[in-house]
Amino acid sequence: MTKPNVLREMSDEQLEHELRETQRALFKVRCQSATERNDTPSNVRKLRQIVARVKTIQRERQIAAGSGS
């Protein structure tokens, strides 16, 4: 699980990459769940939390930069 402090230390490009990779992994896990091949159903929740953390940090940076709308 990716900690918020580790994510905050990343650059904007690294955060974008992390978001894309996590969303890809989430898609794969959801497909596995749909076909009943998912060994660990808790992965869906963990990946969704990581996506939410990354998006929250991106939004915080956007607000701090002054383009809040």
Q: Does residue 44 contact residue 33 with C-beta atoms inside 8 Å?
A: yes
Q: Is the per-residue pLDDT at 68 higher than 70?
A: no
pTM of the model: 0.84
Average pLDDT over residues 7-23: 94
pLDDT of residue 34: 87
pLDDT of residue 1: 63
43-67 per-position pLDDT tens digit: 999 999 999 999 999 999 999 988 6
Is CATH 1.10.287 what the domain over 4-64 is classified as, yes or no?
Answer: yes
Average pLDDT over residues 32-53: 88
Query: What residues contact 25, with CB distance under 8 A and at least 6 apart?
Result: 47
The domain spans of the chain are: 4-64
Q: Longest Cα pair distance anywhere in the chain, in angstroms? A: 46
- d(CA 37, CA 21) in angstroms, rounded, equals 21
